[in-house]
Amino acid sequence: MEVDYINGAKKEEMCGVSKYQFEIHKRLKNLKLNKIEYNSGSFIVKNINVFNVFKLYVLYPLLIKLKVNKGNIKHITSQNLAYILKFMKLDKCIITCYDLIPLVYEKGFSSDINLNGLKKADRIITISEFSKNEIIKYVGYPKDKIDVVYPAVDHKIYTKSRGKKILKNLNIPQDSRIILYVGSEQPRQNVPNVIKAFSKLKKQISDIKLVKIGRPQFYGAREEILGLVDDLNLNRDVFFIDYVSEEDLPRWYNAADVLVYPCEYAGFGLPPLEAMACGTPVITSNTTSLPEVVGDAGIMINPQDIELMADMMYKVLTDSELSEELSKKGIERSKRFNWDNAAKETLRVYGMFE
């Protein structure tokens, strides 16, 4: 079986979408991928890479026309590339739609063009029942042509192995208690709320630090958050790491006493799942797909309730029985999500076109 893999810009870092694609396709041994990608540029105006926009909407469709093979399955790997089907017809075409954030939450300039493209796909793969229902509601796409293929964790890497040695990388004392956030600084992630809740918690527990892992991915977000950290006099207590390798990420989860992930809108929510696999207690949102991921294995809150967020962090840090219960439940919950199953489900969808 051969698949034309329409993947957009080449990914250099393993996170989110690129992790999902990599973990699934490295398990499909008898599948040949004809990757159709382009190199990203560097001319940036505010939050828009102008050269990349030109590549994405002008040069990339031309490259696809040259590289696709008529008899192959066509797999467009992101809803952000769905616009391609507005400009060309691709037979046996699947689109992976992770979420409808650009359309439903951000209402971005490209949402309408990608919405129209999604409607032209032969099948859609998505990553949660929540996202499936969003696609049915906002795209009007037939539910019997949508396949849910859950993200997962590699349970050989993401395991419970508690230890705080990695804190030395940031010169954080080994006896510190760690609040961890993993993700971007896009508005829907509510990182300022994490900072504010942490500030309230700091008044009750002095030996805590907040570690934030992940690039901003939103223009001006880091500057705004650093300003908030400065205003709250937390400069010595909040640490930023832009990117962490797949090798080190489980070590950070294991060094953390609790993961806080108050995302407002998520197609799935990989950080809570990875944290649970490492036995790290999770506090996350009671919105969108996150209850589907966490179930009863974590604490779910209104992501805008800063007081409650601080209270729940305090409770996890001071109630050892609760912390241990969440750890055990999280490990068991995480076992439901397996990359081998995701690979089998993806292969099943490909097989529909053979």
Whether 160 is in a domain gets the answer no
Whether 158 is in a domain gets the answer no
Which residues, 6+ apart, have CB-to-CB distance to 265 below 8 Å? 99, 101, 104, 105, 188, 287, 288
- Claim to verify: residue 189 and residue 148 sit in the same structural domain: no
pLDDT at 45: 37
Domain that holds residue 289: 165-334
Encoded tokens for 29: 């041994």
> Are residues 327 and 279 in contact, defined by beta-carbon separation less than 8 angstroms?
yes
Whether 70 is in a domain gets the answer yes
Whether 299 is in a domain gets the answer yes
CA 185 to CA 108: how far, in whole Å? 17
- Claim to verify: residue 170 and residue 126 sit in the same structural domain: no
- Claim to verify: residue 308 and residue 346 sit in the same structural domain: no
CA 271 to CA 280: how far, in whole Å? 11
- Claim to verify: residue 20 and residue 104 sit in the same structural domain: yes
Encoded tokens for 318: 């001071």
Nearest to 79 by CA among 35, 45, 110: 110
- Claim to verify: residue 120 and residue 181 sit in the same structural domain: no
Number of folded domains that form the chain: 2
- Claim to verify: residue 232 and residue 290 sit in the same structural domain: yes
∠ CA 70-76-82 to the nearest 5 degrees? 110
Burial classification of residue 169, based on how many CB atoms lie within 10 Å of its CB (0-12 exposed, 13-18 middle, 19 or more buried): middle
- Claim to verify: residue 245 and residue 119 sit in the same structural domain: no
- Claim to verify: residue 200 and residue 273 sit in the same structural domain: yes
SS3 313: helix
CATH number at residue 294: 3.40.50.2000
Q: What is the pLDDT along the chain (354 residues), one digit of tens a residue?
A: 899 999 988 877 777 788 999 999 899 988 999 999 887 653 333 444 545 566 666 788 888 999 999 899 999 999 989 999 988 899 999 999 999 988 888 765 456 668 889 999 999 999 999 999 999 999 999 999 999 999 999 999 999 999 999 999 999 999 999 999 999 999 999 999 999 999 999 999 999 999 999 999 899 999 999 999 999 999 999 999 999 999 999 999 999 999 999 999 999 999 999 999 999 999 999 999 999 999 999 999 999 999 999 999 999 999 999 999 999 999 999 999 999 999 999 999 999 997
Q: Kindly give the interhelix angle for 306-318 and 320-334, rounded to the nearest 10 degrees.
A: 100
Whether 157 is in a domain gets the answer no
- Claim to verify: residue 246 and residue 147 sit in the same structural domain: no
- Claim to verify: residue 147 and residue 245 sit in the same structural domain: no
pLDDT at 110: 52
pLDDT at 55: 62
Whether 52 is in a domain gets the answer yes
Sign of CA dihedral 115, 120, 126, 128: positive
pLDDT at 164: 96
Whether 159 is in a domain gets the answer no
- Claim to verify: residue 68 and residue 192 sit in the same structural domain: no
pLDDT at 116: 87
Whether 133 is in a domain gets the answer yes
- Claim to verify: residue 143 and residue 177 sit in the same structural domain: no
Encoded tokens for 46: 């505010």
